[in-house]
Amino acid sequence: MRWDQGHQSRNVDDRRGVGGARGGRGIKLGLGGLVVVGILSLVLGRDLLTPLLGGGVEGSAGVGSQGAGPADPLVNFVSFVLDDAQATWRADFARRGQTYTDARLVLFTSAVSTACGSADSGTGPFYCPADQQAYIDLSFYQELRERFGAPGDFAQAYVLAHEIGHHVQHLIGTDEWMRGQQAANPARENDLSVRLELQADCYAGIWAHSTAQRQLLDAGDVEEAMAAATAIGDDTLQREARGRVRPDTFTHGSSEQRVRWFRRGFSTGQLESCDTFSAPAL
């Protein structure tokens, strides 16, 4: 993928190395401790006080404020993808006479506290509608490459674009509507969850369509995204973990379904083509 390799986003909150699932109230420091941390901040050129005092999301001014700059290419890459995907959706919303509100991306190590509860790296990348933030431990990309056999920068981009797809659903109200449907019909809880996830895959495809139009794609990029979609399909993951597949327990969709809906978004570039909830078959 062709991207601005020095890109930094104001919507990235880099919490790596800050500590595990912190609740936002920070660590209590005495006056002497504050002085020591202040001196270290000056020496290292990093704001070490804000994370310790619980500055959290609101206090972050973006990647640079937490020390991840041009020397951290993976952070620069996800920053570019985040901003590019959101610019695509901002333009799409504007054409519809709607306003797009940016999501934030939180980078963490091992564990993190969110408005949706605490999570660890084993959860994988996720989106929390309660705070309108996507979360990722960047070590997931190494796992995607080495464990799941899905290398490539556009495989990584697809994962993040999927989470921004969930943010689009939240702004439209799809996720809230789905939860109401699940409450009214518990027997369809998993089916509705699958349809929500496949729609996010389709939305990721819409962004990929935009990148193709702007000639940002290299040869093989789309195949990288589809390899990632295949690798994290419910059937593939269940077969690897248990040696058998139970479609009734799917929450994200099969590998074939995930590839199919990503392809649909990529081929049409139209939000209307991603109505998984009305589709008789997925």
pLDDT digit string, tens, across residues 9-39: 999 999 998 755 443 334 434 444 444 444 4
Q: What is the mean pLDDT of residues 69-84?
A: 87
Give the pLDDT confidence score for residue 6 in this predicted structure: 84
Q: Please report, for residues 15, 154, 164, 221, the alpha-carbon distance to residue 279 in angstroms, rounded to integers and kept in the order given.
A: 40, 28, 22, 28
pLDDT tens by residue, 211-264: 999 999 999 999 999 999 999 999 999 998 999 999 999 999 999 999 999 999
Give the pLDDT confidence score for residue 277 in this predicted structure: 97
Burial (0-12, 13-18, 19+ Cβ within 10 Å), 272 = exposed
- Whole-model pTM: value is 0.82
Give the pLDDT confidence score for residue 54 in this predicted structure: 41
Task: Grade residue 5 by pLDDT with cuts at 50, 70 and 90.
Answer: confident
Asked whether 274 and 261 are in contact (CB, 8 A), the reply is: yes
- Of 219, 236, 102, 105, the C-alpha closest to 170 is 102
Is residue 98 over pLDDT 60? yes
Percent of the chain residues topping a pLDDT of 90: 76
Asked whether 201 and 261 are in contact (CB, 8 A), the reply is: yes
